[in-house]
Amino acid sequence: MLFGYICSVPLTPVPAMITTGQKITTQRTAKSRLQETDLEHIKFGRVFSDHMVVMDYTNGAWQQPAIMPFGNLQMSPAALVLHYSQTIFEGLKAYRNVNGGVSLIRPQANIARMNHSTHRMCMPSIPEDVFMDAMMELVRLDSDWIPKDDDAALYIRPFMFASDEYIGVRPSDSYRFIIFTCPVRAYYNEPVRVKIETNISRAFPGGTGEAKCGGNYAGALYPAKLGMDGGFHQLLWTDGLTHKYFEESGTMNVFFNVDGTLITPGLDGTILHGITRDSIIRIAKDEGIRVEERQVSVEEIEVAARNGRLRSAFGAGTAATIAHIQSIAFGDAVYELPDVSTRELANRIGKKLDDIRRGRIADPYGWVVPVI
Ligand code: COI
């Protein structure tokens, strides 16, 4: 066994084949860190709640999942993931609703997407019911970590990595699946300034662009850093073949409001199948807004920006929610977009999505999954 936890749990999980409906074993933390955490002043991704789910894949089967105190991992320096990045992740949120309950939004979509990523990255898929049960139980256990106010939530981070102690290049035989959570507020604290990237590529047809795998993000760090050094929050990726068409932004999908029509790059295999993206499209259509999912050329948006038809643009993602775009740099030309208060369309869709999440209006889509 390669991995153990630097906390008081057995280093070797009990080998047992998973049968659905089994109770997840839970070892509670001896001392919660909640009392010493200031939930009102948390920064995104820096504060972690008390527990995590851990489940190992060994001998060709998923073993019994366990909930245990959040703690460090101990691993071999030869663990495959550390060398060849066979690792994937997901991101979703638990929201406190107006009745004091807690809900997840479309968790089945995240589970399905994770299993899509497992397929592309040659990893074993995760039994959906086991994933869902473990995640619900974890959120229930750490629900006091969800801040009470409306602009906060509990971010849930499921991930999985190759754990074989081996440095030959091949798919791992063993994996570890973990879910931990963190109370969060906004990912971006202000409207974002983005730069169109036309030199370095994030993805290519047939590549891993639509998988939520660590390598996609690692490869983006260098150009993103160059962008940040230039005063931009994020890049707007263009296609790897011609650099003429928009793909997505670093942490989110992207939407343009041109003359009241919402335009977003289609799912062509190189961009993430954003669940927030999909929710926005559904709501927008039901609000009578014209939506176009298709190839969106840089030229088209640049012309629209130049002649005042680009009314707004925004990014959409679990972490970012709806992130207004303040300005877009097309090479040396920077276009400032209208003030946030005029972004009626994005604000209207964002409010409806939030009202559904918070239980302020009925959920017509069947997206809300109550946890408590
Ligand atoms: C999310 O929005 O949940 C993501 O996974 C983006 C992440 C890189 C912060």
Atom of ligand 1 nearest to the CA of 250: 8
Q: What pLDDT was estimated at residue 338?
A: 79
In a domain, 254, yes or no: yes
Q: What is the pTM of this model?
A: 0.93
Residue nearest to atom 8 of ligand 1 (CA): 251
What is the domain-level CATH number for residue 257?
3.20.10.10
In a domain, 370, yes or no: no
Specify whether 163 is located in the same domain as 302: no
Q: How confident is the model at residue 150 (pLDDT cuts 50, 70, 90)?
A: confident
Contact 163, 81 (CB under 8 A): yes
Establish whether residue 110 lines the binding site of ligand 1, counting it when its CB lies within 6 angstroms of any ligand atom: no
Specify whether 156 is located in the same domain as 220: no
Tens digit of each residue's pLDDT (9 = 90 or more) over 242-300: 999 999 998 999 999 999 999 999 999 999 999 999 999 999 999 999 999 999 999 99
Domain end residue (candidates: 184, 200, 225):
184
Ligand 1: residue of 217, 251, 252, 280 to mutate (most ligand atoms within 8 A of CB) is 251
In a domain, 151, yes or no: yes
In a domain, 3, yes or no: no
Instruction: State mean pLDDT over 93-109.
Output: 97
CA contacts within 13 A on the Cβ side of 10: 11
Distance 285 CA to ligand 1 centre (A): 25
In a domain, 141, yes or no: yes
Structural domain span for residue 196:
192-357
Specify whether 206 is located in the same domain as 352: yes
What is the domain-level CATH number for residue 52?
3.30.470.10
Q: Could you tell me the sign of the dihedral formed by the alpha carbons of 85, 86, 92, 93, in that order?
A: negative
Residue nearest to atom 7 of ligand 1 (CA): 251
Atom of ligand 1 nearest to the CA of 320: 2
Please tell me the distance from the alpha carbon of residue 264 to that of residue 266, in angstroms, as a whole number: 6
Distance 22 CA to ligand 1 centre (A): 30
Distance 320 CA to ligand 1 centre (A): 7
Which of 171-185, 294-308, 333-347 is the least confident region? Answer: 333-347
Q: Given a cut of 70, is residue 366 above it in pLDDT? A: yes
- Exposure pattern of 334-354 as b/e (b: 16+ CB <10 Å)? ebebeeeeebebbbebbebbb
Establish whether residue 214 lines the binding site of ligand 1, counting it when its CB lies within 6 angstroms of any ligand atom: no
Atom of ligand 1 nearest to the CA of 90: 5
Atom of ligand 1 nearest to the CA of 319: 2
How many distinct structural domains can be found in the chain? 2
Distance 254 CA to ligand 1 centre (A): 14
For helices 275-286 and 107-120, the axis angle rounded to 10 degrees is 130
Contact 57, 43 (CB under 8 A): no
Establish whether residue 319 lines the binding site of ligand 1, counting it when its CB lies within 6 angstroms of any ligand atom: yes
Tens digit of each residue's pLDDT (9 = 90 or more) over 11-20: 333 334 565 5
Specify whether 29 is located in the same domain as 177: yes
